[in-house]
Amino acid sequence: MEEYQGKLRLVIKHYPYRYRDYSYLSAQAAEAARAQGKFWEYFDLMMAEKKLAREDLIGYAEQLQLDVARFTSELDNETHLARVEEDVQLARSLDLFQTPSFVINGRLLVGGRPIEKFRELIDAALAEVAGAN
């Protein structure tokens, strides 16, 4: 990300796997944090800590000084489930079934690839954009 400062934008779409315990829960937690304006802070914390049970997710909300009561009630009431489902439907409509999947200016990359592969696609996309201008 830093390497391409100013030239690269990262967009997150949720794609929780339906048979995992915490996939849907953590996606909804990220959305609940977003509702309080702290999606990326929450995202980074979750990525760093890796534990995703309900109490862990609420703990992160505390750490980020979110309104924990609101966060917890939204999580428990599945307030953001529909929003997560939208992303899942989108992914399926694009015939994506693996996570992580990346789409870099329209080019698909599936799975945890070596960083060189990302550089290759990003550089190609940059060159294409530069060529078009």
Partner 1 sequence: MARLLIILLFCLLAVSAGAQEKPPLEVPLGDAPTRGPADAAVTMVEFIDFQ
Partner 2 sequence: MRGATGCLALLVFLLCLLSSPPDLLAKPLKLQGPLQLPSPLAVMPLQDPAKVELGRALFFDRRLSGDGTVSCAVCHIPDEAFADGQKISSAYPTNKHWRHTPSLLNAGYLDVFFWDGRSRSLEAQAQGPIHSSFEMNLNPRYLVAKLREISAYQQLFEKAWGGGVTLERIVASLAAFERILLVSDSPFDRYLRGDQTALSSEAKQGLEIFFGSRGNCVQCHSGRLLSDQKFYNLGVAELPELISDPQHRATRNFFLAELGLEPMDRDPGYYAVTRRDEDMGAFRTPPLRQVAETAPYMHNGSLASLTEVIEFFDRGGGDDPNKSPLLKPLGLSSTEKQALEAFLQSLSGSYPLVRAPRPPGF
Amino acid symbol at 119: R
Kindly tell me which residue out of 63, 82, 107, 113 binds partner 1, with binding defined by CB under 8 A. 107
111 binds, among partner 1, partner 2, none (CB under 5 to 8 A by kind): partner 2
Which backbone phi and psi does 102 adopt, to 5 degrees? -120, 140
**Collapsed DSSP state (helix, strand, coil) of residue 98:** coil
Binding mask 25-64 for partner 1 (x = CB under 8 A): -xx--x---x----xx--x--xx----x------------
On the 0-12 / 13-18 / 19+ scale of CB atoms within 10 A, 101 is middle
Residues that bind partner 1 (CB under 8 A): 1, 4, 6-17, 20-23, 26-27, 30, 34, 39-40, 43, 46-47, 52, 86-87, 90-91, 94, 96, 99-108, 118, 122, 125-126, 129-130
